[in-house]
Structure 1
Amino acid sequence: MGSQDQAVHDNAEPTDVTVIGAGVIGIACALALSRRGLNVMVVDKQAPGMGASFGNAGHMATEQVFPIADASILKRLPGMLMDPMGPLRLDWRYLPKALPWFTRLLSNLRPTPYQASTSGLRALNEASLDAWRRLLDTVDGAHLLKQDGSFMVYERESSLTDLQTLKACMATQGVPVESWSGNAIRNVAPQLSESIHGGLFFPATGHVVDPLAVVQRLVTAAKSEGVTFCQDEVVSGHVHAQGVTLETTALGRLHCRQVLVACGAHSASLTAHLTGKRVPLDTERGYHLMLPGEQSRLPMAVTSLERRFIMTPMSDGLRLAGTVEFAGLKRPPNMERAWQLHRLSQGLFKTPLDTTEATPWMGFRPSLPDSLPVIDSAQDSRVLLAFGHHHLGLTQAAVTAEMIAGLATPGTPGAGATRCAPSTHNQALPELAPYRLDRF
């Protein structure tokens, strides 16, 4: 597009905030910003909710307070490279590019940074469900969230020690957790097989019945409150005295007083353009398999300890998810990994799952090596940042939106803040310090 065409599309009157990213985090933030009295536009090259938000496991994973890797990753590294169907896969062709990221990941396993990551995750997760309840109540969406807990089950007697260790670790972090026998679990989920010896129950978790419907409900509310949506790709931008100018592929230049980068795994380049800061953002390529014929198989989400995947009941079927692949943003998906999830389910139920009209999916989950997101403001608050939530994007979206709204509202602290983000709900939000951009 030439400069003359760009001039035609320049928005002469700047938007207060342009949100780049129409996933669940971007949309939740857009709605929260609008409710602070700001004029908001959302820009994404895809329709709202059609990226990683479409395919997430649907689990409100408040129990997952530990970083995405621990010391055992060192023992698993050969298998990650050699087994294309393993639960944690590193494509050997991507290894040179991924090596700096993994080096930082391993560095984070040292006691002090590991504990800092755990503390940061716990703070967000503890505030997450309350934030979701507040948000869904305002958009007539409470029925989309089921707060009935979740299970982690085990099948091998040798796994009991690992399970007990995990329970003890979670209890030290204040995670509500209970030990259940296999029979007690089958009383709640009777279609599970006798191979399950027992497991852990997490009462303070839940799941959504349709992740896309959650996003669509937020979009409808946002539009009704004046938020505008534009399907376009933002390729670069720069900050200046009047605000921010963004370059797009179709509309040319967009002007705004503030910009929010919330485009998940695609956020690194824009963050560098707008702040000059290079963030070590990589992507966990997540897969799921949706089984439309299994709408009544489970009453709640169930994770297998040994098989390392999760099964979540949804309004349109049963979703199998949880496999992770490190292969970057450009390689085509290996949908055999999605079908592998069905093979992993064999033996967990008294009768096999129905794969009639099953659909596989792959999406990009944004991951930072310390397992914490970036939630911050930069460039004198002209640039807001909300990305890097890895597989906790759905869980942490609503509380992230409240934190971003506090950062964007005039009079609240910007990038230099170390106190709690302000709240309009008489409840303090997590401290901003663990999620700041300048930690890298």
Structure 2
Amino acid sequence: MSDTDQLEDIVIIGGGIIGVTAAYELSCAGRRVLLMDKEYPGAGASQGNAGHLATEQIFPVADASILWQVPKLLLDPLGPLAIDWRYAHRITPWLFRMLLNMRPAQQRRTMEGLAQLSGNSLAAWEDLLGRSGGQDLIRSRESLTVFERPATQRKLQRAMKQMQACDIPVTAIDGDEARERVPALGHSVLGALHFTATGHVADPLMLLEHIWVAAREQGARFVQAEAGDLTVSADTVRVETDKGPYRASQLLLACGAHSRNLVRQASGVNPPLDTERGYHLMLPAESDRLPMAIASAERRFIMTPMQGGLRLAGTVEFAGLERPANWRRAWVLRTHANQLLARDLDDDQAEPWMGFRPTLPDCLPVIDRIGANGRLLLAFGHHHLGLTQAAFTARIVRDLAEGGPPPVSIEPYRLSRFGRPKG
């Protein structure tokens, strides 16, 4: 038996925010955790997210009206939702499945599933950071979603009623009150929805690194290795890697946009996982411009104040994992921001970024325990809500790993909605 082929307690594949928060919770529960990733923890999409704890986002990414927008999506590479024409043939079946999920019954199921996760997310983060000594990593507990068109106001009023029905604290304010709360906003802003149970983090990578340090203090270990073939048996899970084989009593797959092949190998189910390519533009000279996160209802992006500056993030691009980044999508965020603000932003030393957000056509993640004797745990597909839902997802995973009842029903998140797992 090789040195790497010793029996581990639980191996987590994926060093992003989902995998790292799960590593912390499992370590606190007394489990011996080995975290595995081909890069260091936080090197992927988790370092570049918007930093917003988006507990208000209970709606799917798109609705059935997207069907009529497909020609525009193919022709406008800088729009809030874009499809690279070279990827259109690959994404079409996925879009069709997404449209099927826009039927009223399915949409209600999605909203209920998102509300269940997001509604518990802020409290879960406050608990996790309270235990690990990172309370100051969450900043303002409020945010605004602003609008610029009267027609948008009517849509937001309907959305607000749905949010209130899901117990989301939200009120409507006019443009003057929005500018009283955030003086940097310009007069193009007609009004806003004001949320008081959201928030943002000082820096997403700093947050992840803090949690990983806390997990290591509880005994978690890390190996930089790329996972290959998986074999799940009644006794163990075996992982072939470029550093040799690893065996574990349990395995958690939490590798985001790269989860699909490993899930298919281990479960026999081929989840329809694709990737939203998310962009941000970091402005180091603008750390004091905004007191809270500001989202735009029409422009589909968000401005988040962070320790290292102002982060402009958002938009959705479908172009797969292989195409090079379209950096114009990052820079157009500056144009959008300037049109919302009273004074143009200082873009000195601005840095663009692009990362892959794992998304499933019903906009719900997979959180499950499957396989022989429940040895395989799954937590992937959180699309643009990975940061928001990570702490509560980790709590669910901890309970599933321990064989106890999770804090909420996992029925909306089971892998079986895409096919029957083997074992």
TM-score (structure 1 length as normaliser): 0.93
Aligned residues: 417
Identity of aligned residues (%): 49
Structure-2 residue corresponding to 1:212: 205
Q: Distance in 1 between matches of 2:99 and 2:408?
A: 26
For 1:309, the aligned partner's letter is F
Q: Is the 8 A contact 2:140 2:292 kept in 1?
A: no
For residues 28-74 of structure 1, the C-alpha deviation after alignment (integer angstroms, 9 at most, x for no partner) is: 00111111211110001111111111010011111111111112212
Q: Is the 8 A contact 2:5 2:244 kept in 1?
A: no
What stretches of structure 1 move > 6 A for 4+ residues in a row?
Answer: none
Within the candidate set 179, 187, 196, 1:203 is matched to: 196
Is the aligned partner of 1:319 residue 2:297?
no
Structure-1 residue corresponding to 2:421: none
Deviation at 1:172, TM superposition (A): 2.8
1:162-177 alignment runs, 5 A limit: 162-177=155-170
Q: Is the 8 A contact 1:181 1:198 kept in 2?
A: yes
TM-score (structure 2 length as normaliser): 0.96
Structure-1 residue corresponding to 2:350: 358
Structure 1: any 5+ residue segments left out of the alignment?
1-6, 413-419, 422-428
Structure-2 residue corresponding to 1:184: 177
Q: Distance in 2 between matches of 1:159 and 1:129?
A: 27
Within the candidate set 255, 275, 282, 1:283 is matched to: 275
Q: Distance in 1 between matches of 2:342 and 2:59?
A: 32
Q: Is the 8 A contact 1:193 1:350 kept in 2?
A: yes
For residues 389-414 of structure 1, the C-alpha deviation after alignment (integer angstroms, 9 at most, x for no partner) is: 000000000000000000111x43xx
Q: Taking structure 1 as reference, are residues 331 and 135 closer, same or farther at Cα in structure 2, changes over 3 Å only?
A: same
For residues 270-316 of structure 1, the C-alpha deviation after alignment (integer angstroms, 9 at most, x for no partner) is: 01111111111000000000000000000000011122210000011
Deviation at 1:95, TM superposition (A): 1.3
Is the aligned partner of 1:302 residue 2:294?
yes
Q: Distance in 2 between matches of 1:217 and 1:226?
A: 15
Q: Distance in 1 between matches of 2:234 and 2:410?
A: 25
Structure-2 residue corresponding to 1:79: 72
Q: Distance in 2 between matches of 1:230 and 1:68?
A: 35
Structure-2 residue corresponding to 1:433: 411
Within the candidate set 20, 41, 47, 2:34 is matched to: 41
Is the aligned partner of 1:372 residue 2:350?
no
1:14-413 alignment runs, 5 A limit: 14-249=7-242, 251-379=243-371, 380-409=373-402, 411-412=403-404
For residues 207-266 of structure 1, the C-alpha deviation after alignment (integer angstroms, 9 at most, x for no partner) is: 1110001100011111111100111111221112321110112x1101111110000000
SS of match in other structure, 1:310: strand
SS of match in other structure, 2:352: strand
Deviation at 1:166, TM superposition (A): 2.1
Deviation at 1:338, TM superposition (A): 0.5
Q: Distance in 1 between matches of 2:80 and 2:142?
A: 24
SS of match in other structure, 1:206: coil
Q: Distance in 2 between matches of 1:60 and 1:202?
A: 11
Q: Distance in 2 between matches of 1:335 and 1:235?
A: 31
Q: Is the 8 A contact 2:55 2:121 kept in 1?
A: yes
SS of match in other structure, 1:290: strand
Q: Distance in 1 between matches of 2:78 and 2:124?
A: 36
For 2:5, the aligned partner's letter is N
Q: Is the 8 A contact 1:147 1:204 kept in 2?
A: no
Deviation at 1:147, TM superposition (A): 4.2
For residues 388-439 of structure 1, the C-alpha deviation after alignment (integer angstroms, 9 at most, x for no partner) is: 0000000000000000000111x43xxxxxxx51xxxxxxx22111111101
Q: Is the 8 A contact 1:62 1:125 kept in 2?
A: yes
Q: Distance in 2 between matches of 1:407 and 1:147?
A: 32
Q: Distance in 2 between matches of 1:395 and 1:183?
A: 29
Q: Distance in 1 between matches of 2:218 and 2:163?
A: 40
| Higher alpha-carbon deviation: 141-150 or 358-367 | 141-150
Q: Is the 8 A contact 1:32 1:405 kept in 2?
A: yes
For 1:310, the aligned partner's letter is I
Q: Distance in 2 between matches of 1:107 and 1:255?
A: 40
Q: Distance in 1 between matches of 2:178 and 2:108?
A: 32
Q: Distance in 2 between matches of 1:347 and 1:339?
A: 14
Q: What do you get for the CA RMSD once the two structures are aligned?
A: 1.2
SS of match in other structure, 1:346: helix
Structure 2: any 5+ residue segments left out of the alignment?
419-423
For residues 129-150 of structure 1, the C-alpha deviation after alignment (integer angstroms, 9 at most, x for no partner) is: 1110110011110100124211
SS of match in other structure, 2:110: helix
SS of match in other structure, 2:193: strand
For 1:104, the aligned partner's letter is R
Q: Distance in 2 between matches of 1:165 and 1:189?
A: 24
